[in-house]
Amino acid sequence: MEQLQLSQSEIEKIREDFPILNRKINDKQLIYLDNAATTQKPLSVIESMSEFLKKSNANIHRAIHILSYEATLAYENAHKIVAKFIGAKSFREIVFVRNATEALNLIAHSFGERFLTSSDEVVLTIMEHHSNIVPWLILRDKIGIKVKFIKTKEDGTLDYDEAEKLITKRTKLLGVIQASNVLGTVNNILRLRDLAKSVNAKFLVDGAQSLPHIPINVSDLGCDFFVASAHKMVGPTGIGFLYAKRELLEEMPPFLTGGDMIREVTVDGATWNELPFKFEAGTPAFTEAVGFAEAIKYLQNIKIERILNYEKTLEKYILEKLKTMSFIEFYGHQKGEHLALFSFNIKGVHPHDAASFLNSFGIAVRSGNHCAQPLMNHLKIENALRASFYFYNTNNEAEKLFSTLEEANKFFNR
């Protein structure tokens, strides 16, 4: 019977797949805790891209020679691997983009400009990453839609009572982050979906933080749109995807125009290519698609369910320790489900100073507003430290973080 939890021996074996984890910073062993920004890459992903470039590098959809044929097969197969991974009905519902940010801009442009009017409303959460706020604010200024925000409670969870009040018959799209990149909070997506569907609004899920950790089936979620980035799930940078229901993609106009997204061009006009290529203008990131496909295979081999269970144990262990550290002010993690992602400050210490101190001991964390300034304003802070863990992180690394935070507090607050 398969274990539902990753053992420490398995974690140590997994860590051997990530060469960067052997690096030393300031003569200290690297402890990488900035996984919410980007994850490290296993050798299988690195080597898959290298082998592709050595053997099959050629532009796709543009030639009949063998290299182009092989590249095209690899690129299209990557769509199918992503579709199966997230439970999409067809690879034609998977559009490759540079990242989740581009996917969100695509939705705001191609769906928003075509189907929303000045009398319509878009409802978001205050937790959203800037990439799911700014495109809608620009659309507001352009066509006059109203943008409303669901706040969080003091415990860091979303205020679902307020959500019920804000979502009305004028709401045409509800856009929510599944897991906060600041608070670690995992939102109740099914409850939010039901609220959206009760007023016949489209439902958009930003899965950039959730997909690397949580099993996702978009058909079960019932979302109209889902976005994510490869680089946050042990894949390469420069590629992500938009999932959208096929009927929506058929109706939406292209976001970018040019080569490969067309069926025919004349001096009088143009017609569009079949899905998903209608939305993939120009030479795509086909090498990165190969790496993305390999990253998904790597995660599937470990199993996302086991990753999630391991991280839940890690999250509980870290949280219990942080609560005993009186000099730490941390945000969220008081109620509900959370990722092993923690935003906090050392009282009286600027987070940039604290991050620099941690770096001197080889510990990589993020400091800043985490591209979530509306949430920061809501929390009445400007910046915070963030330590975000993944399945290759260990209890020993957490212990090193704790002891170094104590040293930092002594150094700055002596």
Which amino acid belongs to residue 201?
A
Find the angle CA(197)-CA(232)-CA(330) to the nearest 5 degrees: 80
Closest CA to 357 of 411, 311, 283: 411
Q: For the chain, first and last CA: distance in Å?
A: 53
- pLDDT of 2 strictly over 80: no
Rounded CA separation 245/249 (Å): 7
CA atoms within 13 A on the CB side of 160: 12
Residue 3 has what pLDDT?
A: 61
- pLDDT of 284 strictly over 90: yes
Range name among 95-99, 263-267, 394-398 with the lowest pLDDT average: 263-267
Do 234 and 107 lie in one domain? The reply is yes
Do 194 and 180 lie in one domain? The reply is yes
CB atoms within 10 A of CB 4: 11
CATH code of the domain in which 285 resides: 3.40.640.10
Provide mean pLDDT across the span 283-288. 97
Count of structural domains within the chain: 2
Do 147 and 180 lie in one domain? The reply is yes
Residue 393 has what pLDDT?
A: 98
Integer Rg of the chain from CA: 22
The secondary element (H helix, E strand) that includes residue 193 is helix 189-198
Do 81 and 218 lie in one domain? The reply is yes
Residue 38 within any structural domain of the chain: no
Provide mean pLDDT across the span 359-383. 96
Do 26 and 84 lie in one domain? The reply is no
Do 55 and 122 lie in one domain? The reply is yes
- pLDDT of 1 strictly over 50: no
| Pairwise pLDDT comparison (183 vs 332), residue with the higher score | 183
Closest CA to 405 of 322, 336, 323, 339: 322
Residue 187 within any structural domain of the chain: yes
Residue 3 within any structural domain of the chain: no
What residue numbers bound the domain in which 384 lies? 8-32+304-412
- pLDDT of 327 strictly over 90: yes
Residue 1 within any structural domain of the chain: no
Provide mean pLDDT across the span 162-166. 98
CB atoms within 10 A of CB 117: 9
Quote the strand ranges of 156-278, DSSP E: 171-177, 202-206, 225-229, 240-244, 262-266, 269-272
Place of tokens 């985490």: 370
Domain boundary among 300, 325, 359: 300
Rounded CA separation 44/361 (Å): 29
Closest CA to 328 of 351, 312, 311: 351
Residue 174 within any structural domain of the chain: yes
Do 252 and 329 lie in one domain? The reply is no
- Band of pLDDT at residue 5, cut at 50, 70 and 90: confident
Do 12 and 95 lie in one domain? The reply is no
Is residue 152 helix, strand or coil? strand
Rounded CA separation 193/217 (Å): 14
- Dihedral of alpha carbons 312, 314, 319, 324, sign: positive
Range name among 194-203, 212-221, 256-265 with the lowest pLDDT average: 256-265
Do 146 and 290 lie in one domain? The reply is yes
pTM for this predicted structure: 0.96
Domain boundary among 233, 268, 300: 300
Rounded CA separation 131/352 (Å): 23
As a whole-number percent, the residues of the chain with pLDDT over 70 amount to 99
- Backbone torsions φ then ψ of 262, nearest 5 degrees: -110, 155
Do 84 and 231 lie in one domain? The reply is yes
Do 274 and 310 lie in one domain? The reply is no
As a whole-number percent, the residues of the chain with pLDDT over 90 amount to 95
Residue 38 has what pLDDT?
A: 98
Do 178 and 257 lie in one domain? The reply is yes
180, two tokens: 């906060």
Domain boundary among 246, 272, 300: 300
CATH code of the domain in which 397 resides: 3.90.1150.10
Residue 326 within any structural domain of the chain: yes
Provide mean pLDDT across the span 183-209. 98
Q: How far is CA 141 from CA 113, 147, 277, 360, 366, in A?
A: 12, 10, 30, 45, 32
- pLDDT of 134 strictly over 80: yes
Rounded CA separation 213/195 (Å): 25
Rounded CA separation 50/145 (Å): 46
Residue 40 within any structural domain of the chain: no
Residue 120 within any structural domain of the chain: yes
DSSP character string of 89-101: S-GGGEEEESSHH
The residues annotated as belonging to the active site are: 371
CA atoms within 13 A on the CB side of 12: 4
- Band of pLDDT at residue 414, cut at 50, 70 and 90: confident
Rounded CA separation 293/81 (Å): 6
